[in-house]
């Protein structure tokens, strides 16, 4: 299935928004001003992490404030020619934007051959908990899960300097069994975007650490899409309201079967405590019974994720909003 960018690339001039600040700013501004001068209809396209402009890189803000002010002014002055597409919702995102679902489509296209996994069978491991970069909240969640015994019989991996932990080779993508390759290429797409069925066949549940943990900021990534594809029950470390956001996209969550009140908790530490308590309770439940009870939900979510019709309807709405933006 084509992404919205692929569908519209012949009709509009696309410029990647992140590259203004993570690349050649002057060169990208020259391209933008040239397109404005030629009276082209321009889409500034933000690919994935909608919190990009509010985070730091090795202690340094990603964004040059003066450059951001200049770009925002240019976009405002030429709003009849420039439309911003970004993946996710964020009240403090620097630009008015239309939410797109291209990353969902990318993950869908990569994983269409993944077969349904039977989880109502014997399982050798409790949780699947995979993170790459370390954050304060991810570390805290990992420490709490470890302290409560949730990781003793689980598959978990993380990148945290000398404290890095890798999966056993039988559960890992073959490229990541080379520690040097994993360290240098930790975003190697076949390893992080493709579902590896053996990881889900061996484990009962997923603990997902989403890309963004900030309250009120929501975007979906491969981290949540992979357990949806695999039919896994998931518990998510993300900003408060993330599960509500998933439901707004048409997915179902598990509140009728497990305690999802952590999603309403505004305090990050308390939210992690609630997630940990839920994981402890899951360890003492009969996963075979749970998956029989959840069969309709996991089937619905997987079907919705792979539904061309659903994604096409979302894209039709996006295209209508873009047309309206340029007409107005």
Residue pLDDT, tens place only, 149-162: 999 999 999 999 88
Q: Identify the pLDDT of residue 58.
A: 62
Both tokens of 275, joined, read 């997630």
CA distance 153 to 49: 32
All residue ranges of the chain with pLDDT < 70 are 56-61
Task: Supply the DSSP string of 73-122, one letter for each residue.
Answer: HHHHHTTTTEEEEESSEETT-SS--EE--HHHHHHHHHSTTPPP---SS-
Q: 3-class DSSP state for residue 170? A: helix
Q: Identify the pLDDT of residue 59.
A: 60
CA distance 249 to 299: 16
Q: Identify the pLDDT of residue 49.
A: 85
| Angle at the Cα of 38 from the Cα atoms of 33 and 42, rounded to 5 degrees | 65
Are the C-beta atoms of residues 185 and 175 closer than 8 Å to each other? yes
CA 261 to chain centre: 21
Both tokens of 70, joined, read 């200049």
- Secondary structure percentages of the chain, helix, strand, coil, to 5: 50, 15, 40
Task: Supply the DSSP string of 261-311, one letter for each residue.
Answer: GGGG--SHHHHHHHHHHHHHHHHTS-HHHHHHHTHHHHHHHHHHHT-HHHH
CA distance 274 to 261: 8
CA distance 4 to 117: 30
Q: What's the CATH number for 113-305? A: 3.40.50
């Amino acid at each position: 299935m084509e992404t919205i960018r692929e569908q519209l690339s012949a009709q509009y001039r696309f410029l990647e928004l992140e590259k203004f600040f993570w690349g050649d700013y002057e060169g990208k501004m020259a391209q933008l001003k040239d397109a404005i001068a030629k009276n082209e209809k321009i889409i500034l396209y933000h690919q994935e992490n909608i919190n990009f402009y509010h985070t730091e890189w090795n202690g340094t803000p990603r964004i040059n404030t003066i450059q951001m002010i200049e770009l925002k002014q240019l976009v405002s002055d030429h709003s009849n020619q420039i439309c911003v597409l970004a993946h996710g919702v964020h009240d403090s995102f620097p630009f008015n934007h239309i939410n797109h679902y291209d990353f969902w489509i990318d993950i869908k296209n990569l994983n269409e051959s993944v077969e349904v996994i039977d989880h109502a069978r014997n399982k050798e491991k409790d949780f699947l908990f995979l993170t790459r970069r370390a954050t304060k909240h991810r570390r805290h969640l990992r420490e709490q899960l470890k302290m409560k015994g949730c990781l003793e019989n689980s598959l978990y991996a993380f990148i945290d300097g000398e404290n890095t932990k890798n999966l056993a080779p039988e559960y890992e993508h073959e490229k990541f069994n080379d520690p040097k390759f994993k360290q240098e290429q930790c975003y190697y797409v076949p390893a992080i975007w493709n579902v590896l069925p053996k990881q889900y066949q061996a484990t009962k549940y997923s603990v997902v650490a989403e890309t963004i943990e900030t309250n009120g900021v929501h975007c979906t990534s491969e981290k949540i899409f992979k357990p949806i594809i695999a039919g896994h029950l998931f518990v998510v470390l993300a900003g408060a309201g993330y599960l509500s956001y998933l439901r707004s996209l048409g997915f179902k969550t598990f509140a009728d079967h497990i305690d999802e009140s952590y999603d309403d908790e505004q305090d990050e530490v308390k939210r992690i405590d609630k997630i940990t308590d839920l994981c402890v309770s899951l360890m003492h439940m009969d996963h075979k019974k749970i998956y029989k009870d959840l069969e309709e939900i996991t089937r619905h979510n997987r079907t919705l994720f792979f539904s061309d019709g659903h994604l096409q309807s979302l894209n039709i709405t996006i295209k209508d909003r873009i047309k309206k933006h340029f007409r107005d």
